[in-house]
Amino acid sequence: MNKERKLIIAGNWKMNKTVAEALDLVRGLKIELANVKEVDIVVCPPFTTLSDVSEAILDSNIRLGAQNMSEHNVGAYTGEIAAVMLKEFSVRYVILGHSERRQYQKESDELISRKAQAVHGASLKPIVCVGETLAEREGGQTEAVLERQLRGSLAGSSKDQMAETILAYEPVWAIGTGKTADAGQAQEAHAFIRGVLGKMFDETVARRVRIQYGGSVKPSNARELMSQPDVDGALVGGASLETRSFADIIKNSI
Ligand code: PEP
């Protein structure tokens, strides 16, 4: 597939996998995906498995991401994880503002923007998630919601920082539901997001930023989604938990 930007496909394992299960999955992926050069491959396991997974993928084309990070660098923040701790395990990417954290932990755009600054400050790359709920889509609010989330979550980001930022468009109604935005809906939202980036930064930044699609991506729909001009990869939940399905999503996207 001929793409303007290199595809980046990341697996968000959420709160799944013990160390033994994580190693099993990642060892399978290493074998299945050893020859893939066309896609940046990322796995985002739970914190408790980062150390072992990091070691297991050392000599591979798979990169490591975390699912969250504190906006603080050090101190009395019980239960939080700082950038310097992630860097000990060669983490390169950090998912920020996933809709589950926006919903259950009440994370705001303002907090996400501060976390993004901490991620950049540590020379890591944020994967910033945005997306509308079903009620917002049905109420004709999709574009207003996306623009508000982008302007809030990316507030304070410089053009240089944006070049290191990955965005993930994840319609909340498509996450873990088996419902996927069809390729046309995904392209429309991605093109809108790129337009907002053009207004917030400039055309060069807008053309450079990679925008992943997330929401029930599976081997059978990956190719059509990835073939859309403004879809530059995927953030995969459920289907990233099995070697076969995650590997097939990546292979089918090439
Ligand atoms: C996600 O949670 O980021 C996600 C896209 O999940 P799923 O692929 O399971 O819909």
Q: How confident is the model at residue 2, as a pLDDT?
A: 84
Give me the mean pLDDT over the 181-210 stretch.
97
Q: How many other CB atoms are there within 10 angstroms of residue 26's CB atom?
A: 25
Is 90 exceeded by the pLDDT of residue 103? yes
User: How far does the centroid of ligand 1 lie from the alpha carbon of residue 186, in Å?
Assistant: 14
The catalytically annotated residue of 71, 132, 136, 170 is: 170
Q: The tokens of 111 are what?
A: 């907090």
Q: How confident is the model at residue 42, as a pLDDT?
A: 98
Per the annotation, the verdict on 98 as an active-site residue is yes
For residue 236, give the ligand 1 atom closest to its CA.
8
Give per-residue pLDDT as tens, 44-84: 999 999 999 999 999 999 999 999 999 999 999 999 999 99
pTM, two decimal places? 0.97
For residue 95, give the ligand 1 atom closest to its CA.
3
Q: How confident is the model at residue 178, as a pLDDT?
A: 85
User: Do the Cβ atoms of 71 and 16 come closer than 8 Å?
Assistant: no
Whole-angstrom Cα distance, residue 151 to residue 120? 17
Least confident of 41-55, 73-87, 156-170, 172-186: 172-186
User: How far does the centroid of ligand 1 lie from the alpha carbon of residue 106, in Å?
Assistant: 18
Q: How confident is the model at residue 179, as a pLDDT?
A: 84
Tell which one of 236, 241, 242 to mutate to probe ligand 1, the residue whose CB is within 8 A of the most ligand atoms.
236
Mean model confidence pLDDT for the chain: 97
Q: Whose CA is nearest to atom 4 of ligand 1?
A: 237
HEC-encoded secondary structure of 78-145: CCCCCHHHHHCCCEEEEEECCHHHHHHCCCCHHHHHHHHHHHHHCCCEEEEEECCCHHHHHCCCHHHH
Q: Which residues line ligand 1 (CB under 6 A)?
A: 12, 170, 175-176, 214-217, 235-239
